[in-house]
Amino acid sequence: MIVRERLTIDQIHSMYASGETTPSEVCRQTLERIDAGNGRLNALLCVTRESALARAAAMDAGIGEAITRKPLAGIPVVVKDNLCTAGIPTTCGSRMLEHYLPPYTATAVRRLLDAGAVLVGKANLDEYAMGGSTENSAFGPARNPWNEDYVPGGSSGGSAVAVAAGFVPVSLGSDTGGSIRQPASFCGLVGLKPTYGRVSRYGLVAFASSLDQIGPFSWNVRDSARVLGVIAGHDPHDSTSAAEPVGDYLSGLDGDLRGVRIGIPAECFAEGLDDEVRAAVESGIARLTARGAEIVEVSLPHMKYVIAVYYIIATAEASSNLARFDGVRYGFRADQARTLSELYRRTRDLGFGDEVKRRIMLGTFVLSSGYYDAYYEKAQRVRSMLVDDFAAAFAKCDAIITPTAPTPPFRIGEKSDHPLALYLGDIYTVTINLAGLPAINLPCGMSASGLPIGMQLIGNHFDEARLLRIASAAEQL
Ligand code: GLN
């Protein structure tokens, strides 16, 4: 599979405007590309062929006018399969939800549809979004279209592959500790995790509720900005969604970087960072300065604790969130259970994969009486110190740059038996979720083996408009 031509929303809309093509035609071509590539790449767990074709056909007549009103009119999209879609399977990459049909649609997906998008499928993921390679999916790993022997990253690997393989111009993922930014980095895409609370989590199957956010994948900053403008904003169904007004994310893109201060935390360029990644990110930074950005040193003194803090807080929340999958309320139920407790145990034993079980056990342990103070409470305290570190850093700069992942993409199977090695790969991304900040992956180079490398641009809370402007100026290089 080679990486396909880079489809963008603007390209498709200008073809609609000129009458060169129609939503039906674009939808048919999308389905053809999926039919040709998905068997190998395993990016999509479900293709909503009939409903997509019908919806697209209904748009054909009025599309010239619709594109002036609806930012995603006639645009094919896929969403990660932990986003609820009414009447369409929502598996979370788990046997537990293999046959689950949600009775409602997630707010972010509903807003895409209201903006005119055509949903063509649901994307593969690590089971319950736990992982960084999409190898934890109960339905087999997704493959990186740049080289199919390599992982596409995760947990939103299928959403990244769907864009990188040219199936669709944009997709949605979820990011609890890097699951949008890291696969974007591994697949050469833009991937945005908004500020915590910027996008409603209603209908996103919860992994770690204080960290989860939904965001877009795309080829360029402009398309991610457009999708953010569609999905952002308060939602009465999610009390943690922010009332903060939604910015104008499309204006001021493609400017220059004069007067912009970029913070570089030395702690993120220390040992453990692969040489190729370091070189690619440093060349990315050098190009920003060539465009007028000013570099300032900032410090994140609590960086060294972030993996431990994240894997305590995320697993604690996961153990609580996943308690609801008991064989009674949702999806899978084990048979041959004689008592209620046996029903729970057998259902959870057969329904969950190894990584999910590992996290439930870890999370239950750190919350148990006697260990709560030693682990969970201490992790929460370090989390607030990290928030203070960022507040001090943003007093000196407009955005911060770090690598997105410490290594280039790795081979399928290379780390699947080494959970700790995978966890360590999350160092630069989990930090951002703990602090609730927005961050975006931008491609910044290629490894010697021909795989993409990305850098992470971090903004201040609810400062997505500025973050996107800086990212878009950087992308022009
Ligand atoms: N890789 C991280 C983890 O395994 C992040 C996952 C995510 O963001 N959903 O927890």
Arithmetic mean of pLDDT, 380-390: 98
Helices 221-231 and 107-114 meet at what angle, rounded to 10?
110
Question: What domains lie within the chain, and their CATH numbers?
Answer: 9-231 (3.90.1300.10)
Task: Evaluate if residue 287 carries a pLDDT over 80.
Answer: yes
Residue 80 is a catalytic residue? yes
Task: Evaluate if residue 301 carries a pLDDT over 70.
Answer: yes
Q: How far is the CA of 252 from the centre of ligand 1 (A)?
A: 32
Probe ligand 1: pick from 159, 357, 426, max atoms within 8 Å of CB? Answer: 426
Supply the residue whose CA is at minimum distance from atom 4 of ligand 1: 131
Percentage of the chain modeled with pLDDT above 70: 99
Probe ligand 1: pick from 427, 430, 434, max atoms within 8 Å of CB? Answer: 430
Atom of ligand 1 nearest to the CA of 179: 8
Q: Which of 133, 159, 174, 179 is catalytic?
A: 179
Q: pLDDT tens across 342-378, in order? A: 999 999 999 999 999 999 999 999 999 999 999 999 9
Per-residue DSSP letters for 147-212? BTTB---SSSHHHHHHHHTTS-SEEEEEESSSTTHHHHHHHT-EEEEPPTTSB--TTBPPSSTTT-
Question: What confidence category does residue 5 fall into, taking pLDDT thresholds of 50, 70 and 90?
Answer: low
CA distances (Å), origin 261, targets 73, 282, 292: 37, 16, 9
Tell me what pLDDT residue 3 has.
45
Q: State both tokens at 239.
A: 């009390």
Residue 155 is a catalytic residue? yes
Supply the residue whose CA is at minimum distance from atom 10 of ligand 1: 130
Taking the alpha carbons at both ends of the chain, their separation in whole angstroms is 27
Q: What are phi and psi of 434, to 5 degrees?
A: -60, -35
Atom of ligand 1 nearest to the CA of 178: 8
Atom of ligand 1 nearest to the CA of 208: 9
| 3-state secondary structure (DSSP) of residue 368 | coil
Strands (E), 97-136: 118-123
pTM: 0.97
Q: Which of 24, 80, 171, 241 is catalytic?
A: 80
What's the CA gap between 462 and 247, in Å, rounded?
9
What's the CA gap between 293 and 55, in Å, rounded?
45
Q: pLDDT tens across 305-337, in order? A: 999 999 999 999 999 999 999 999 998 999 989
Q: Which of 155, 218, 241, 416 is catalytic?
A: 155
- Whether the CB-CB separation of 116 and 12 falls below 8 Å is answered with no
Question: Which strand (E) or helix (H) includes residue 298?
Answer: strand 294-298
Q: How far is the CA of 425 from the centre of ligand 1 (A)?
A: 10
Arithmetic mean of pLDDT, 152-163: 98
Atom of ligand 1 nearest to the CA of 130: 4
Tell me what pLDDT residue 476 has.
75
Arithmetic mean of pLDDT, 58-80: 98
| 3-state secondary structure (DSSP) of residue 455 | strand
